[in-house]
Chains A and B, each alone.
Chain A
Amino acid sequence: MHMEGIDTMLSARTLFEKVWGEHIIVTSPQGEDLLYVDFNYLNEGGSFLAFDQLRLEGRTSRRPEQHLAITDHYLPTINRAAGVEGIPNPEIRNVVAMMAGNAADFGLPHLNMHHAKQGIAHVVGPELGISQPGMLITCNDSHTATHGAMGACAIPVGASNQLRHVVATQTVWMKRPRTMRITIDGALGTGVTAKDVILSIIRQTGIGGGAGYAFEYAGSTIRGMSMEGRLTICNMSIEAGARIGMIAPDDITFAHLAQCERAPKGEHWDRALAYWRTLPTDPGAVFDRELHLDAATVAPMVTWGTSPEDCSPIDGVVPDPSSFDDHERSRHVGRALEYMQLIPATPLSEIRIDRVFIGSCTNSRIEDLRAAAGVLRGRKVAVPGMVSAGSSEVKRQAEAEGLHRIFLESGLEWRDSGCAMCNGSNGEIVGPGQRCASTTNRNFEGRQGRNAMTHIMSPAMVAAAAIMGRLTDVRHLTSP
């Protein structure tokens, strides 16, 4: 091998290593890196503790323009015109009001409930082009890895101490994670989506398999995916235990950014683009772990348990806890099936549901709504449910395309944008003992409400379940 070749191999770096390395200010004797935060999103959930503490300490925001406060977790999806005073629950009203007060006191730009761009942080950031390749981004939310689909290194931070540190210093202390590349190659079958790919990955890694790793999703399947699909993939990295999940920026990323209002313009665009093209993982770069998935083997997935790894292809059956070799896993499945009121060997497509939810930072973008509407067009739903667009912009576009009429005519509700029924912070919950087919990211016990049972799946699969009143293979749904 030529010397040059060896040098190339030694200097070959991954996408993650390039972005992380570019943000190290100092490294502590204990090996933690002090990282510069290019941009921080923050929501109302818990962040008031950070601001209260900053206030008690007499500290201010170091770089207010590098933050965006977004009210998303606690906002009801109806009756927005009535304003904060129109929120019936006083505790929820108070949390929403505190966010506005804290953003104002610390000079942070804020998308409040009436803002034309209001939405879920992980939908709005990429939509406005604030999240860009090569950036280091933080947010006080566990699904922050979503922005990694733009080629950014996006990391969740704790809502009080860590957020307080980011606001005061525009930096964060972090231990560098190891790297794992997940390569998905091949064409996805009909009715198979990004959601099914990420659920298949989580099924393979388990919910702890990615802990301590930064993921990079690669391969021809990812390259062929839209921006929306990539955002769905990165969004659920944390469900495999990884706090960071990234996808190399390419022409699809650049074409998206070229239309965004907050993306660089003119000469800045040219310079940014030249830099962004240097970011993808170099040939020969080494990952600590590699995982492969054949796209042809991915089927539409549904969860049957109380953890995102508890999922199977829709043509499968509820598993028998005793079929798992691992004792802990077996015990978990037993407890999960008890909570979910399911009997082993029941075909998944025979599980009846009580309601549906289409929304959340995982699956509420325009492509998701088109997919659901495509299934619902000309049909009636058998169970009630709501559709909440991921942002006010997505809502307007869906209305311009007439998708809202398809949802309304099918019998679903068409709601304003927010985290909504994904975790019910805003009071919109699934009733006790009710079973919900949901496009969200977590099916933990009580996630959508006390004793509520959640089955997560793709938007098209939720639409199919809504029509049939039971979990349904969207590929077998006959024309209306």
Chain B
Amino acid sequence: MQPFTILTAAAVPLPIAKIDTGMILPGRYMRRHRRPGHDYSEAFLHDVRFDENEQPRPECALNDAAYGTPQILLTDADFGCGSSREGAAYAVMDYGFRALIGPSFAEIFYGNCLQNGILLVTLDEAVIHQLWAAVRARPGSEITIDLPNQLVIDPAGARHSFDINPLRKERLILGQDDISVTESHGAEIVAFEAKRRMAFPWLPITSQA
């Protein structure tokens, strides 16, 4: 997992409340492989970005080239509600976002994103509205997210502090997902397997590395 420390990047507004995981990753993409060059970037918010005739919706800022290559999405309330599909976090990641800033996020989606190195920052609704206005006024303007100091620095230089669980913060900074934390216990797992194989020799615990 890619570590997350300090990110300075263009931000794009998405002022639509209750974007659910079915909109983030439409069901029809869910039976599709994710491969390099053929990932979920096309699927990400597809029907929000495109109309029934596959034409880009002009009102959607994600279709506006003036925003450059944004890595920060400024969401509205309850982003990521709905089904627990973990593919929604992959879609966010594959599209190129490293952080989402919004007034509130659904709990399961929040966990799935952090597990994949995407930082979700919750700020007051009033601050979010300011951020929308700031980037709309100057599309392409950059926002800085300083995770070690838990700060968002807006295009005007104003600082907004945010909360995050200390363990999740540490894992993001170190780039550790669940698997890498577990791998740090590698020696204990090997020892456990050896002990278990001796005590319960009928179990299918194989010894090859």
Contact = CB atoms under 8 A, between A and B. Distances in A.
Nearest to A74: B31
A34 B86 CA distance: 22
B122 interface: no
Interface string A128-147: 00101011000000000000
Contacts of B206: 63, 65-66
Contacts of B179: 59, 164-165, 168-169
A132 B31 CA distance: 33
B4 interface: no
B61 to A, nearest CB: 29
Given A49-B87, A65-B204, A169-B182, A25 B33 contact: no
Interface in B193-209: 193, 196, 200-206
Interface in A253-308: 264, 268-269, 271-272, 275
Contacts of A132: 202
A36 B189 contact: yes
B90 interface: yes
Interface string A114-134: 000000000000000010101
Contacts of A91: 31
B176 interface: no
User: Interface size for chain B: under 10, 10 to 19, 20 to 34, or 35 or more residues?
Assistant: 20 to 34
B183 interface: yes
A112 interface: no
A161 B202 contact: no
Interface in B103-119: 112, 115
A30 interface: yes
B90 A268 contact: no
Contact of B202 (A66, A158, A268): A268
Given A36-B193, A53-B34, A173-B178, A271 B185 contact: no
Nearest to B183: A169
Contacts of B185: 25-26, 34
A170 interface: yes
User: Interface size for chain A: under 10, 10 to 19, 20 to 34, or 35 or more residues?
Assistant: 35 or more
Contacts of B90: 49, 53
Contact of B34 (A56, A59, A63): A56
A197 to B, nearest CB: 30
Given A36-B193, A52-B33, A56-B34, A165 B182 contact: yes
Given A66-B205, A161-B112, A271-B202, A25 B86 contact: no
Nearest to B201: A268
A368 to B, nearest CB: 29
A98 B33 contact: yes
Given A25-B185, A169-B189, A94 B31 contact: yes
A413 interface: no
B33 A48 contact: yes
Nearest to A22: B196
Given A161-B86, A173-B178, A49 B34 contact: yes
Interface of B: 30-31, 33-36, 84, 86-87, 90, 112, 115, 167, 178-179, 182-183, 185, 188-189, 192-193, 196, 200-206
18 contacts: A25-B185, A25-B188, A26-B188, A36-B196, A48-B31, A49-B90, A53-B90, A56-B34, A66-B204, A91-B31, A95-B31, A158-B86, A165-B178, A169-B179, A170-B189, A170-B193, A171-B189, A268-B202
